[in-house]
Amino acid sequence: MIKKFVSFVLMLGVVALNLGYLMMPKMTSAAGSLTAFSDTVSNLTASTAANHTIVFTTPTGVASGATIILTFNNSTNTGSVAYTDVDLQDNGSDVTLAAAPSGATWGFVNTPSTVLTFTNGTTAVTAGHVITIKIGTNATFGVTGVNRITNGTAGSTILRISGTFSDYGSVSMAIVANSIVVVSAEVLASLSFTVSSNSLYFGNLSSSTSCFAQNSNPGYVTCPTTAEAEAFNMTAATNGTSGYTVSVSGPTLTSAGNTIAALASNTASSPGSEQFGMRATVTGAGSGTVSSPYAASGYAYTGVASPATVATSSGPSLTNTYSVRYLANIAALTKAGSYTTAHTYVATGNF
């Protein structure tokens, strides 16, 4: 009898254990760890305002009405960051943000000074999508952001992502006392200037025709060049922030105290009257220009008493070529003699 009773008890125990196993509920979880999670910070210097670009892949997606919560530590301060300072992208497509969700618009709340909460509207995010969040002046969708997040103290800051969207993750950022490396260099100011010829010749002047200088000696020939032609050219270029100035100085044509009158203003050639002058034209990719009174079609020379400006550039300039032409006319009673002059051209960088 005792053996039978014991057997009966053992059988009941086995049945109870089996029933307990069959009735045990199956436990499952929809949550997932974020993948490809990163936070790129524009400046890792302690207590410094910086932009954040946060990227992660959500393995389970974001249901409509679900929240994504960003929590910073280490005295990181989200300050006055508002939805206008934030961009949110779902798989590269910008999502509209507002203070509260409505329809397809997501809501955004900054709970000073470390928690940022995004609340989805009615459009669910598909599982496996990449979420990109830009915070600061790097947020440009709709309007450009103004407010940024201020870093905590030197050490490390942890950003944790949680919320009712079920996924979770954390990432650590190193904060240093000063992440800025100052690099210095100098660009030396430069000025280039050339003069193509140092000797000009008119030949024998005539009271009946205009005479123009040339850069080869014609000998004793009367006005070998009677049509305007380039006597010589100058080139100038600079990287100076205020450009350059080219000036000329020296007397008019002179012979033993006798002179040929220099033209005080831009004047057309008039054979039979005493005239001495010059003019210039400019070519090239630079920004240089010919100065008055030398830019017009007539002639002038104003560098007798003091240097006269011939050409200028107001800023950095590539190379310009200035073509210079000289005119000399005489009257019937212009005193005979060997007339010469020496003109000094100077280029000054306005550094």
CATH number at residue 118: 2.60.40
The span from the CA of 337 to the CA of 318, in Å, is 43
Q: Residue 185: what pLDDT? A: 94
> Total structural domains in the chain?
2
**CA distances for 262 relative to 152, 207, 272, angstroms:** 75, 16, 15
Same domain, 288 and 316: yes
Sign of CA dihedral 143, 144, 150, 154: positive
Domain for residue 318, yes or no?
A: yes
- Residue with structure tokens 């005493």? 274
Q: Which helix (H) or strand (E) holds 16?
A: helix 2-23
Is 186 inside a domain boundary? no
pLDDT digit string (tens) for 129-185? 999 999 999 999 999 999 999 999 999 999 999 999 999 999 999 999 998 888 999
Give the residue among 172, 171, 137, 174 at the shortest CA–CA distance from 46. Answer: 174
* CB 115, CB 71: distance < 8 Å: yes
Q: In which element (H, E) is residue 74 found?
A: none
**Residue where a domain terminates, one of 123, 144, 175:** 175
* Beta carbons of 211 and 278 less than 8 angstroms apart: no
CA 126 to CA 89: how far, in whole Å?
A: 13
> Does residue 224 have a pLDDT over 80?
yes
First to last CA, the chain: 120
The average pLDDT across 198-203 equals: 98
pLDDT of residue 16: 32
Residue type, 128: G
pLDDT-derived band at 113, boundaries 50, 70, 90: confident
- Percent of all residues in the chain with a pLDDT value above 90, rounded to a whole number: 89
Kindly state whether residue 141 falls inside one of the protein's structural domains: yes
Residues 152 and 209 grouped into a single domain: no
255's CB contacts (< 8 A; 6+ apart) are: 335, 337, 338, 339, 340
The verdict on 84 and 126 lying in the same domain is yes
Looking at the fold, whether 89 and 220 belong to one and the same domain comes out as no
Task: Report CA dihedral (312, 315, 320, 324) to the nearest 10 degrees.
Answer: 0
Distance CA 344, CA 83 (A): 67
Domain boundary at 147, 175, 203, which? Answer: 175
Do 165 and 223 belong together in one domain?
no
What is the pLDDT confidence band of residue 118, given thresholds at 50, 70 and 90?
very high
Instruction: Yes or no: say if 130 and 91 are a contact pair by the CB < 8 Å rule.
Output: yes
Residue 219 sits in which domain range? 191-349
Cα 244 from Cα 189, distance rounded (Å): 11
Question: How does pLDDT run across 299-347, given as a tens digit for each residue?
Answer: 999 999 999 999 999 999 999 999 999 999 999 999 999 999 999 999 9
Using CA of residue 306, residue 311, residue 317, residue 318, what is the dihedral sign?
Answer: negative
Place of tokens 């123009």: 212
The CA-based diameter of the chain, rounded to the nearest angstrom, is 166
Shared domain for 119 and 221, answered yes or no, is: no
Q: What six digits make up the tokens of 318? A: 């590539």
Same domain, 213 and 148: no
Query: Strands of 308-313's sheet, edge to edge?
Result: 289-290, 308-313, 244-249, 344-349
Is the pTM of the predicted complex or chain greater than 0.75?
no
Whether 197 and 342 map to the same domain: the answer is yes
Q: Over range 266-284, report the average pLDDT.
A: 98
Identify the pLDDT of residue 31.
63
pLDDT score at 5: 36
pLDDT of amino acid 112: 76
**pLDDT value for 22:** 32
